[in-house]
């Protein structure tokens, strides 16, 4: 695969991701914010971008989405054949909610520290 094709694939993924983000925000804002780990301001901004700006934003050589699981053990626990699909989804939601809560605490601590 050439670098040009790889960059095209990244741009396509970015645009698909941004369109999905907008659709999720329009269909169920609070659920989308939770799933995407977005705050109110970012959700407002992303939901209001016209397609021309989404395309411009997608035209990057960096992926705009990221892999939410940071711990290989979490990934392994979600991919074992012993769990049922519903249990996997619930487990993933719990893991991601924990990660989101930890990130919010870090942001709040940094904000509080800067406020002094």
The confidence score (pLDDT) of residue 67 equals: 83
The confidence score (pLDDT) of residue 31 equals: 95
User: Who contacts 58 (Cβ-Cβ below 8 Å, separation ≥6)?
Assistant: 11, 12, 14, 15, 17, 18, 64
Cα 47 to Cα 4, 28, 33, 76, distances in angstroms: 30, 12, 11, 34
How many helices and strands in the chain, by DSSP H and E?
Answer: 6, 0
**Which sequence spans correspond to the domains of the chain?**
1-65, 67-116
The confidence score (pLDDT) of residue 116 equals: 41
The confidence score (pLDDT) of residue 90 equals: 73
In this prediction, the residues of the chain whose per-residue pLDDT falls under 70 are 1, 81-87, 99-116
Topology of the domain comprising 1-65:
Flagellar transcriptional activator fold (1.10.4000)
| 57-66 pLDDT, tens digit each | 999 999 999 8
């Amino acid at each position: 695969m050439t670098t040009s094709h790889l960059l095209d694939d990244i741009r396509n993924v970015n645009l698909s991701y941004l369109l999905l983000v907008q659709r999720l925000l329009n269909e169920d804002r609070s659920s989308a914010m939770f799933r995407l780990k977005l705050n109110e301001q970012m959700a407002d901004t992303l939901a209001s971008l016209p397609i021309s700006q989404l395309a411009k934003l997608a035209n990057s050589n960096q992926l705009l989405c990221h892999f939410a699981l940071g711990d290989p053990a979490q990934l392994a626990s979600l991919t074992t054949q012993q769990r049922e699909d519903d249990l996997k989804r619930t487990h993933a939601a719990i893991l991601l909610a924990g990660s989101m809560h930890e990130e919010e605490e870090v942001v709040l601590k940094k904000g509080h520290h800067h406020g002094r």
